[in-house]
């Protein structure tokens, strides 16, 4: 058996998220179908992160066991030949038996993009949230400054969270404004469900003047989801990198 690490990109627009679904197309489902076909037996695919419906990835990582012998490049090409073009395996490596795409991950980086212009390009609209109208970038940046570090992020996840605790180490939160494109980079040891999109939605409310920048600290410490902003749309979110 070979333990395979695959680095994957996908446009999540047409998929019901990463996780396999009984009656809907998913990234994990498509990879499971193809690897099972190539290995001539049922495959189990582990992903570094379970992206939600409509979320994209430039650096998702998956791992699986393979019985049949393949050279890495031939395995990559064989998988891609059986996938739609909105999913692509970029690289394949053979790893020690102890490697698992999810459990071996040490950090993840996500990017959230917001377009503030009146018209969004057809080459960009799938990969950003179109918020028509200017946002107060400096206020958003001040609000964001309260979030890096090790905190309880209960205010920025779903009420019925699957996790026993909501403490995460948000190692980096950077914001950049280039013309009408506002980009927010998040790096953490792990993320809660909807955490990035809930923070992005709250920052948008700060930018619109609905929430003051200094109120972000109170939202974080209050640990009440109802006090934060709405969950920002999935289209603006991309999983950029997984660190091991």
The set of catalytic residues is 52
Which residues, 6+ apart, have CB-to-CB distance to 164 below 8 Å? none
Residues 19/26, Cβ–Cβ less than 8 Å: yes
Helices marked H in 92-194 — which ranges?
137-144
Helices marked H in 55-128 — which ranges?
72-81
What is the signed CA dihedral for 86, 9, 47, 198, rounded to 10 degrees? -90
77 vs 35, 38, 89, CA distance in Å? 12, 11, 8
Secondary structure class of 154 (helix, strand, coil): helix
C-alpha 156/C-alpha 77 separation (Å) is 39
Number of H helices, E strands in the chain: 5, 10
């Amino acid at each position: 058996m070979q333990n395979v690490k695959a680095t994957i990109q996908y446009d999540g627009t047409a998929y019901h998220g990463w996780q396999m679904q009984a009656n809907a197309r998913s990234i994990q489902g498509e990879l499971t179908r193809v690897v099972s076909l190539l290995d001539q037996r049922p495959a189990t695919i582990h992903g570094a992160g379970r992206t939600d419906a409509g979320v994209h990835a430039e650096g998702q990582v998956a791992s699986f066991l393979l019985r049949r012998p393949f050279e890495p490049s031939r395995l990559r090409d064989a998988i891609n030949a059986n996938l739609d073009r909105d999913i692509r395996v970029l690289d394949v490596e053979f790893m020690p038996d102890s490697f698992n795409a999810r459990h071996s991950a040490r950090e993840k980086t996500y990017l959230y993009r917001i377009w503030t212009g009146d018209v969004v390009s057809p080459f960009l609209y799938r990969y950003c949230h179109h918020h028509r109208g200017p946002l107060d970038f400096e206020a958003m940046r001040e609000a964001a400054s309260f979030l890096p570090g090790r905190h309880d992020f209960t205010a920025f996840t779903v009420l019925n969270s699957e996790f026993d605790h909501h403490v995460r180490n948000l190692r980096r939160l950077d914001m950049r404004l280039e013309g009408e494109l506002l980009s927010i980079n998040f790096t953490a040891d792990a993320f809660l469900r909807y955490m990035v999109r809930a923070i992005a939605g709250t920052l948008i409310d700060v930018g619109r003047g609905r929430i003051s920048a200094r109120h972000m600290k109170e939202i974080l410490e209050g640990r009440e989801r109802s006090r934060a902003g709405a969950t920002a749309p999935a289209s603006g979110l991309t999983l950029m990198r997984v660190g091991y």
